Amino acid sequence: MATPKRTRSVRPSLRGPWPPYIHRRNPVVQKLNGEHRGEVTVPNLVFASAGGAMVRNRFRQFNIKLPAAQGTGAGGAVRSMTLQQSPRSFSQQTAQALPFPPALFRAVSSSPADVANQRAMHELYDSMFQQLIQAIEFGFNLYRQSAALVDVVINGPVALGGRLVGPKLDDLILSAPSVISWIGAKVAMRDAVARGVHQQWSRVADSASVPGMAWYPAFAAFPGPFTPPTPNVPTPVVVLLRNPSLLATPALKGAMRSCLRGRFDYSDEFFESLSAGFEWAMETWKVTQMVVQALGTGPIPSFAPPYVPVGPVVGGRILPGSHIAS
């Protein structure tokens, strides 16, 4: 008598009451299991490249003329700091002031002290802009890698509600290599920018929701008691944002200003310029970033073969994951 051939059972990699063959045919599960080896294009928030020029141009529009270097008036606090943090000093004999533009400030006169003051202030603020822009881009793109939709309800093919959650954005910005080692008076500006961006983005994320979209067409009539994890129809993230005005320049500038501890010269102009650049970068990002790999699943209570061979999902949900990371 011939020995029956032993068959190898297929064990699904994700738990669920669906048949193993459904798992094997699901390309999303294959990707999670490492069976798919494809490169993913990640649309990062792009701020440091084109956004840097926009921020500086906005700052120059204030047409700031520095007070005399000998005084201790409105610019005294920052000027004393630049003596310690800038490679130049007021005693350096400089023949000519920096042209405006590209300089961020105008020199009040062509005296050596005022010219050196202009150069030191320009170098300080220009480096602060550059490093904070890099930090915001760094922090937000880290946040994006783990942000996820939660509390979304799926009925039939339609997903509704929810919100966007992720790590604290200000902590990620403050951990950026470009600003983590800052010391002195600049720390107050760094912290105000990070906390202001975090405050406004958190309010945007809390108000984000899926506006009743047919993300899962197969869930309208599924032939089984429970659906396997199924990816959503890719959707631009802008569709989920309910209150984008929270990232507008006036709102973001106000948040940064409210988070500033102490005093820093030209902080209002600085915050407005940085906020305008960030708003521009976000406008581009939110229409190119897609919500993908939001794996939906749920029960089909009406499934009762052979009399009711198919049915709609009722009370489904989205599995935990990173939903704006690719």
Q: What is the pLDDT of residue 152?
A: 96
Q: In this prediction, what percent of the chain has a pLDDT beyond 90?
A: 64
Would you state the pLDDT for residue 208?
93
CB 197 within 8 A of CB 282: no
pLDDT in tens, 165-195: 999 999 999 999 999 999 998 999 999 999 9
Q: What is the pLDDT of residues 96-105, one digit of tens each?
A: 888 888 999 9
Give the sheet arrangement for strand 158-161, strand by strand: 153-155, 158-161, 210-214
Could you give the C-alpha distances from 147 to 25, 168, 214, 237, in angstroms and in order?
27, 10, 22, 12
Report H helices in the chain: 20-25, 27-32, 50-60, 76-85, 112-146, 169-174, 186-207, 249-259, 267-288
Model pTM? 0.79
Residue (of 11, 7, 31, 27) closest to 19 by Cα position = 11
Burial 19-52 (b: 16+ CB within 10 A, else e): eeebbeebebbeebeeeeeeeeeebebebbeebb
Better pLDDT: 240 or 37: 240
Give the pLDDT band (50/70/90) at residue 46.
confident
- Torsion, Cα 181 186 191 192, to 10 degrees, reads -160
* Of the candidates 153, 158, 291, the residue with the CA atom closest to the CA atom of residue 212: 158
The tokens for 67 are 């007070």
Spatial distance between the Cα atoms of 122 and 60, rounded to a whole number of angstroms: 11
pLDDT on residue 8: 43
Residues ≥6 apart with Cβ < 8 Å to 151? 161, 162, 163
pLDDT tens digit sequence for 264-284: 999 999 999 999 999 999 988
Which sign, positive or negative, has the C-alpha torsion 90, 94, 96, 97? negative
39's tokens: 């490169």
Kindly report, residue by residue over 99-129, the tens digit of the pLDDT: 888 999 999 888 889 999 999 999 999 999 9
Q: Which two tokens stand for residue 104?
A: 């961020």
Please give the backbone phi and psi of residue 18, each rounded to the nearest 5 degrees, phi first: -95, 160
Q: What is the dihedral of CA 54, 50, 141, 249, to 10 degrees?
A: 20
The residue that leads in pLDDT, 167 or 40, is 167
